[in-house]
Amino acid sequence: MVVPAVVIAKASKNFTTEPKVMGKFNLVGTLLGFTNITISLLSGKGGTLLTSRPYTIKVQRIHSFIEKIFSRCLLAITTIVYVNMGCTLDTAGVINTLRKPLTPAIGLFLQHLVMPMVAVAGMALPWAGFGFGAAAGLVCRRPWQEVMTIAIESGIQNTGLAISIIKVVLEGWSPVGEMIVVIAVAVSILTLPPLLVALVTKISLPYCTTSHPQEDSDVISLSEKPATMKTPLWPTKNQPTS
């Protein structure tokens, strides 16, 4: 049973039981997913007289042609972005980092060991990544620039690539793809708020201080006494005499 998007599905189903009993029932699908239905004929005393075989019901969306184009374009754009990121790498910076690879080692440890264990947090995965990344950087006594880098790299998950692969690979297994992609979309949405809070804090923090560097410099220059010149008691070698 195929369900158009944002439309309640209605379908009819014929059934048979053993001994031979035929009938018809109507279905209304409101949520994506799978279920099994069996038809039973009950007696007046509450007993079961006949039971039909299980019928597997699947409620899914119709994938439009535009949606298929969007999925493939998103996958292509994500691939191009990755190639572009590789082309902009600073070779000298990479070599210097590999000489003391503590910061990349912390990031690899978080991404491949810690983050899979906290993946059960689901939609809170990026927030857990930000917290664990910052904590790991502080414990290892890294500079605050590296602490921020580790936290951001640990918290930001590549949801764009995950969504693209799910929609393309599981296109023929609907509604499994739509049900799985909900988690990736939720993670993508919840990744942005902590970054926005950090950006707003960084921008607004200088304006929340009681004094500004320019004002302080003016006060200091006005409070200073004017410079005075001391004239020697006898003329110097280059000084003309009167």
The bridge status of strand 48-51 relative to strand 21-29 is unpaired
Q: Which of 173, 79, 153, 67 is nearest to 110 (CA)?
A: 153
Q: What is the pLDDT of residues 181-204, one digit of tens each?
A: 888 888 888 888 888 988 898 888
State which amino acid sits at residue 79: T
Residue 16 β-bridge partners: 22
Structure-block tokens of residue 222: 């006005």
Output the pLDDT for position 210: 57
Delimit the domains of the chain by residue range: 2-61, 65-203
Q: What is the pLDDT of residues 41-53, one digit of tens each?
A: 777 777 777 777 8
Full DSSP string of 27-80: EEE-SSEEEEE--EEE-TTS-EEEEBPPEEEEEEE---HHHHHHHHHHHHHHHH
- For residues 68 and 177, what is the distance between their CA atoms, to the nearest angstrom? 13
Full DSSP string of 1-29: -EE-TTS-EEEEEEEEETTTEEEEEEEEE
Greater pLDDT, 218 or 47:
47
Least confident residue range of 60-69, 94-103, 217-226: 217-226
To the nearest 10°, the Cα dihedral for 76, 78, 81, 87?
-80
